[in-house]
Every structure is written in C-alpha cells, then in structure tokens.
Amino acid sequence: MPKLLSVNHLLKNRYRVLSVIGHGGMGAIYLSSDERLTGRNCAVKEVEQDPGLPEKLQQEAREQFYREASILARLDHPNLPKVSDFFSSGNRDYLVMDFIPGQDLRSMVEDARQLGKFLDAGDILGWSAQLCDALEYLHNQSPAILHRDIKPGNIRVTPNSLVKLVDFGLVKVLIPDEMTITVMQGRGTALYTPLEQYGGDTGHTDIRSDIYALGCTLYHLFTGQAPPEAKQRFLNPDSLIPLRHQNPMVTAEIERTVLWAMALHPDDRPATVGDFRKALFGDNAPPTPTAPAARYVRSLPKPILPLSQPDRVLAVIGASLFIIAVLASIVP
C-alpha cells in the first residue's frame, strides 16, 4: 500500500492535507483545504502508478489519466461532485473534487440496523430517482461514461437531502469500437459487481453493468443486507433471498424491478437507466427532496413466538365462548 501523505502536506503548492478520508491498496482520498480559495475544502483522490511497470507503460498510463480526467472535469450535474483540478507528483496522480458533507448510505443502513429498523422506503425511492438522473447524465455523454463502482458507501446524502454519487476512481469511457479505457485502475466492489466486470479491463462492460450495481445497491438499502456476490449467485441461485422475504413492506413492483436490474446476464437487465426508472416509478418519479429525509421509520419484523401452555388454554376458552355467543345470536 502506498505511504500516506502526512497532515499539513502541501500538494501542488495549493492543497493542504487535513485528514485521510479513506485509503486502499492503490492510493487514498484526502480531505484538503484549498489554500488559494480561503474556506474551501475539497477531496483529493490519489492513485499511485505501479513502479514495476516499464517506463513507456507508465507514460502511457499518465497520458491516459490526463485525457480522461479532463473529461471528468467537464462534467456538471447536481448529483455528481465537481472535478476542479488534476495533476501528478512523482509517480502519483491526483484528482481534486468537491468535498461532499453528509453521511453515506452504507453508514445509514448500519445505523438503522443497530436500531432494528429499515430505512424509509420513500426516502430510498427519492434517492433512487436522483441516482437515475446522475447515471443517465453519465451514460448520455458522448462517448458514454460508466461509473463502475456504485455502492452505498459511494453515495452520500447532504444535509438538504441531495444525493451525490462520489468516487470517480473506476469511471470508464466507452469509445466507438466498444473497447473501454479506465480512468483509474480498479475492479469495483465484489458485492455490487456484475459477472462481466470480474475480468477487470479484459471483460466487456457497458451501461448495464452500472444498472446491475444500482440494483444491488437498492437491494441493500431496502433489506438492510448486502446481496451475495454474482459469482456465488451463479453457483447457487438460491443464495439470493427475495427482498420481500426480508422486508415485507417492499412492494411487489419494487422487488420485481430491483431483481430485474440484478439479472446475472446483461441481456436480461434493463437496457438503459430510463427503462429501469420507468419500471420503478412509471411516469411518477418523485421530485428531488428539499427537506432532510426521515432516516428510519419501520421496524424489522419481529418473530412470532409460540404461546405458553397457560396462554393456549386461555386462547381455547376465549375462542369457545366466542363461538357460543355467535350461535346464540343466530339460533331462534
């Protein structure tokens, strides 16, 4: 794992590291202050190139980073963080984005589970509509852009209930011959990754890969449980428990639409996010919320416990008296 930058480290003579937001095997994300714009905080994503690669390949990777980071910098959508800068330092590449305040959906699901509750279905549908907006915007770019790592942990809800799909670390740009190129190397998170993405850059992915990850994300939000990996589902189809078996408040339409998006074969999924949206909402997609969401409402279903012996006796006596009373009222 690359060595983390220290607090107060100054990048590009402009971005001062305040703390580490997250890190992994290929880099990290830092909360940083913009020294040029007083009071502005940003998220700086760092990716370290493989030092074992030949110099020529490292140069090609860097050129690819600059080409595709420039594409991300042109994106402008309310449900996506704005990329404001990109640069390199040594063998590390950096992408500077808006810092998004609020809580991510993964932690919100976990908080709800700790309270024995589900997230509110109305809130989930409102977030889903915003996610569909963001994905349609990405997929309708020319060439189309894939996110490739949609999951609850990469979705933040701001204090005014605006959803932001963060972490562009695995964005791919579809070029006309249907080959794909990766902005920053990575393979997504296994629980939300479709089978066709398991091969990394050797596998063929398209917009239906994002739709699969979106379906898995909604499955997690509605049930409080992450779905099994696609590989496990392929080997054991019964490993995927239907949504309504876990949360009886989920409607049949929601369950059917989410499972459609989670189909193992891309041809069996919605062809576009628009198709998924129509199945989920019809023509009545909820508007973007303007007030903070109610975080939890419904409790997890409680098990039905067997009656004790005294309770069974009282129940039988009560039922017998009720029957006698009914018969007495209808017999002349």
CA distance 63 to 176: 19
Cβ pair 146, 180 in contact under 8 A: yes
Active site residue 104: no
Cβ pair 91, 98 in contact under 8 A: no
CA distance 189 to 102: 22
- CA 182, 183, 187 angle in degrees (round to 5)? 50
Cβ pair 250, 119 in contact under 8 A: no
CA distance 115 to 120: 13
Catalytic-role residue among 123, 149, 167, 210: 149
Q: Pinpoint the alpha helices (H) of the chain.
A: 55-73, 105-114, 121-139, 207-223, 230-235, 243-246, 252-261, 273-281, 309-330
CB atoms within 10 A of CB 127: 27
CA distance 276 to 187: 24
Cα dist. 278→186, 224, 242, 248, 318 in Å?
31, 24, 21, 23, 51
Catalytic residue ranges: 149
